[in-house]
């Protein structure tokens, strides 16, 4: 996308307004719900434990409730992640961001990784699924393989980072991911996106969604 042509509403609608801090309070979730509604962000990305509050506060808005699953390690069983996905959707989650089983992937157990992605997509049905690859621990070759597996498994977005790893999204990774998955699939850049310049660079590189807690600064920094 030509990032310089973006208006504020279009950019806001590409942002998952994110609150995954360990010390967040209900007050923080309330504030983020208000902000998300005011700016028209795509979703509010939160821990499952906060879904009921967010569902209540976002009722009637276009902002979706986005649940982080298997977060942040991804080191859970397939059954465990499927259970958590089901539970999140039952409680009102409208998008699912789950962490890939990175350990199994690193060991070359691609069959299990794909089975897990398929099982989660099947559980989610029409609900948008984003798989977090945690790109900072993958080689470029592994990033390509992970993207291919996600595409084959029918996942809606490949996403770079949890924000809890050593590094977040890079322009180079977004380019590589976009090149690998082609034009149709979603690519979400997350981790370390702090300002309008970062955001536009990610979009220029091929990101269609941004995960950030700096959404307001990003929108306010956009030139009219």
Binding residues vs other proteins (CB under 8 A): 20, 22-27, 29, 46-51, 68, 71-77, 79-80, 83-84, 87-88, 91, 99, 101-104, 106-107, 134, 137, 162, 164-165
Active site residue 159: yes
Distance (Å, whole) CA 73 – CA 52: 23
By beta-carbon proximity to other proteins, the closer residue of 48 and 206 is 48
Torsion of CA 38, 214, 131, 88, to 10 degrees: -50
By beta-carbon proximity to other proteins, the closer residue of 72 and 154 is 72
Give the relative orientation of helices 196-205 and 171-181 as an angle to the nearest 10 degrees. 30
141 closest CA partner among 190, 112, 108, 169? 108
Smallest gap from residue 195 Cβ to other proteins (A): 25
Smallest gap from residue 158 Cβ to other proteins (A): 16
Smallest gap from residue 212 Cβ to other proteins (A): 18
- 121: its two tokens: 């997509």
Distance (Å, whole) CA 128 – CA 113: 18
Residue of 97, 156, 173, 198 with catalytic role: 97
Region of residue 64 (phi > 0: left; psi between -120 and 50: alpha; otherwise: beta) = beta
Residue of 64, 81, 130, 159 with catalytic role: 159
Active site residue 56: no
> Could you tell me if 188 and 210 are in contact, meaning their C-beta atoms sit under 8 angstroms apart?
yes
By beta-carbon proximity to other proteins, the closer residue of 103 and 194 is 103
By beta-carbon proximity to other proteins, the closer residue of 27 and 60 is 27
Active site residue 106: no
DSSP 8-state assignment for residue 134: -
Smallest gap from residue 49 Cβ to other proteins (A): 5
The set of catalytic residues is 97, 159, 188
């Amino acid at each position: 996308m030509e990032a310089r042509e973006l208006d504020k509403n279009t950019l806001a609608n590409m942002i998952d307004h994110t609150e995954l801090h360990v010390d967040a309070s209900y007050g923080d979730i309330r504030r983020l719900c208000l902000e998300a509604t005011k700016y028209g962000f795509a979703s509010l990305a939160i821990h499952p434990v906060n879904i009921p509050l967010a569902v209540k506060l976002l009722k009637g808005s276009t902002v979706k409730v986005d649940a982080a699953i298997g977060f942040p390690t991804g080191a859970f069983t397939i059954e465990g992640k499927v259970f958590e996905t089901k539970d999140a959707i039952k409680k009102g989650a409208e998008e699912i961001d789950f962490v890939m089983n990175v350990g199994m992937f690193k060991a070359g157990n691609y069959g299990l990784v794909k089975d897990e992605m398929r099982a989660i997509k099947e559980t989610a049905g029409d609900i948008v699924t984003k798989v977090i690859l945690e790109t900072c621990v993958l080689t470029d070759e592994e990033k390509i393989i992970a993207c291919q597996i996600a595409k084959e498994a029918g996942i809606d977005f490949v996403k770079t980072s949890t924000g809890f790893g050593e590094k977040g999204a890079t322009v180079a990774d977004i380019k590589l991911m976009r090149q690998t998955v082609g034009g149709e699939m979603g690519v979400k850049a997350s981790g370390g996106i702090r300002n309008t310049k970062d955001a536009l660079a990610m979009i220029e590189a091929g990101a269609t969604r941004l995960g950030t807690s700096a959404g307001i600064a990003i929108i306010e920094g956009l030139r009219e």
